[in-house]
Amino acid sequence: MTDFLDNSRISPRAQEIAARVETFVRDTVAPYEHDPRCGDHGPSDALVTELRGLAREAGVLTPHILPDGDHLTHLETAAVLMRSGLSPLGPIAVNTAAPDEGNMFLLGHVGSPEMKERFLTPLVRGDMRSAFFMTEPAAENGAGSDPMMMQTTCRPDGNHWVINGRKTYITGAEGAGMGIVMAKSDDGACMFLVDLPNPAIRIDRVMDTIDSSMPGGHAEITIDNLRVPADQMLGQSGEGFRYAQIRLAPARLTHCMRWLGACLRAHEIATDYANRRHAFGKALIDHEGVGFMLAENQIDLRQAEQMIYWCAGVLDTGAQGTTESSMAKVAVSEALMRIADRCVQVMGGQGVTRDTIVEQVFREVRAFRIYDGPTEVHKWSLAKRIKRSWTKAQEAS
């Protein structure tokens, strides 16, 4: 069914990698979807280690980063990550999952040689997981969709920085081996690389959330006098938001890639069900109400794919792609929600059971409409840009 995906703009090397990833995810990873080590807070670290060992043996571990350290283009990455997403466990198994994928991208672009050796290399090898500490509790008026509201502070103390604050929804903090912590100095936002676990970073609780695909779940964190060597700051004091922008647009887009793969698989399952299940004298797909839902899915899948490729192409020009990634995030997340919802509806009672991954995909995609910026925030941001462009045009006329 993934022949449905458009390979016309994808390089031969990426097509070959994507094909191997798809075979591995379908044949090796998918049978683990009912493994009891998949819990409410994601697959256990033991399961992650086992799956990554299998991916390493198959030659598909961290497939978007080449053996020489070079990174596939964004367009090539799209072809690979869509296939990795064909199972909720796929991105974890082949090491293309968030937040690790985004952290690897950032470190690969702005990390010093020492940072890359210490933190990036084990991430690429799949030997450890990571976390990204930015979001803060709403009750404390901290940074959420508006990172300018950041309350976590950092201050210099000799050749160290001391960090204090609270963070929330920190994906994968439990069990992570390293983290990127954002805090605010007198100069502005800063980013620090830290080893985990650390006694100064306390996990207060791992929240029970609607999604369950990410190892370690999503945690509330207290940072109490965390001391970080000055040479573990990314860049200079006050440059944190500039570095966040390097990570932001590509990370939004790779979320779209992975979840498109998941919805492709859900559509396959719903299509198979609709063709095999009979009611009122004929196959479900022959009932217009069901057949039309599957047709609408195919339209949304194609449109989502093309939005991803379009935004990836913009990023490959070297542009920051902030506007384009906002547009893609809105269009793709909303389309995938419609697709997942239709898959559940087509399958009726079977669609709300955990007998297939359709129910999980529905839950995961519902969360995706919020992660990396809710739809409404992106629309608001786009509307502000529209107003600025209009105002500029009026002043020039």
Percent over 70 (pLDDT), the chain: 99
Supply the pLDDT for residue 2: 55
Mean pLDDT of the chain: 96
Q: Do 147 and 215 fall into the same domain? A: yes
Q: What is the pLDDT of residues 24-65, one digit of tens each?
A: 999 999 999 999 999 999 999 999 999 999 999 999 999 999
Supply the pLDDT for residue 4: 61
Q: Do 252 and 347 fall into the same domain? A: yes
Q: Specify if 37 maps to a domain.
A: yes
Q: Do 6 and 80 fall into the same domain? A: yes
Q: Specify if 165 maps to a domain.
A: yes
DSSP helix/strand/coil, 99: coil
CA–CA distance, 85 with 97 (Å, rounded to integer): 9
CA–CA distance, 143 with 132 (Å, rounded to integer): 13
Q: Do 349 and 260 fall into the same domain? A: yes
Q: Specify if 170 maps to a domain.
A: yes
DSSP helix/strand/coil, 5: coil
Cβ pair 21, 320 in contact under 8 A: no
> 292 has which bridge partners?
none
Q: Do 90 and 138 fall into the same domain? A: no
Boundary residue ending a domain (89, 124, 159): 124
Cβ pair 180, 191 in contact under 8 A: yes
CA–CA distance, 361 with 263 (Å, rounded to integer): 7
Place of tokens 């031969």: 12
Q: Do 45 and 146 fall into the same domain? A: no
Q: Specify if 98 maps to a domain.
A: yes
Cβ pair 91, 85 in contact under 8 A: yes
Provide the domain count of the chain: 3
Output the CA–CA distances (angstroms, integers) from residue 240 to 185, 233, 234, 373, 393, in the order listed.
Answer: 10, 9, 8, 18, 32
Q: Determine how β-strand 178-185 pairs with β-strand 188-195.
A: antiparallel
Supply the pLDDT for residue 3: 61
CA–CA distance, 376 with 15 (Å, rounded to integer): 35
pLDDT at 1 over 80: no
Supply the pLDDT for residue 6: 77
Q: Specify if 43 maps to a domain.
A: yes
Q: What is the CATH number of the domain that holds 136?
A: 2.40.110.10
Q: What is the CATH number of the domain that holds 76?
A: 1.10.540.10
Mean pLDDT of 88-107: 97
Supply the pLDDT for residue 125: 97
Q: Specify if 210 maps to a domain.
A: yes
Q: Specify if 395 maps to a domain.
A: no
Supply the pLDDT for residue 298: 96
Q: What is the CATH number of the domain that holds 300?
A: 1.20.140.10
Boundary residue ending a domain (175, 203, 237): 237
Q: Do 222 and 275 fall into the same domain? A: no
CA–CA distance, 33 with 296 (Å, rounded to integer): 27
Q: Do 223 and 299 fall into the same domain? A: no
Token pair of 71 as six digits = 């990174």
Q: Do 258 and 148 fall into the same domain? A: no
Q: Do 201 and 294 fall into the same domain? A: no
Q: Do 277 and 360 fall into the same domain? A: yes
Number of Cβ within a 10 Å radius of residue 266 = 30
Split at pLDDT 50, 70, 90, the class of 5 is confident
Q: Do 23 and 135 fall into the same domain? A: no
CA–CA distance, 44 with 174 (Å, rounded to integer): 11
Supply the pLDDT for residue 148: 87
Task: Label each residue of 174-215 as H, E or C.
Answer: CCCCEEEEEEEECCEEEEEEEECCCCCEEEEEEECCCCCCCC
Mean pLDDT of 323-346: 98
Mean pLDDT of 273-283: 97
Nearest to 125 by CA among 134, 112, 114, 116: 116
CA atoms within 13 A on the CB side of 9: 17
Residue type, 303: Q
Q: What is the pLDDT of residues 152-211, one digit of tens each?
A: 999 999 999 999 999 999 999 999 999 999 999 999 999 999 999 999 999 999 999 999
E strand or H helix at 60: none
Q: Following DSSP, what letter does each residue of 247-298 receive, concatenated?
A: HHHHHHHHHHHHHHHHHHHHHHHHHHHHHH-EETTEEGGGSHHHHHHHHHHH
DSSP E strands, 49-119: none
DSSP helix/strand/coil, 336: helix
CA–CA distance, 281 with 352 (Å, rounded to integer): 24
Alpha-carbon torsion (351, 356, 357, 363), positive or negative:
positive
CA–CA distance, 313 with 386 (Å, rounded to integer): 22
Boundary residue ending a domain (185, 215, 237): 237
Q: Specify if 396 maps to a domain.
A: no
Supply the pLDDT for residue 360: 98
Output the CA–CA distances (angstroms, integers) from residue 264 to 1, 101, 180, 326, in the order listed.
Answer: 8, 21, 32, 22
Domain carrying residue 261: 241-390
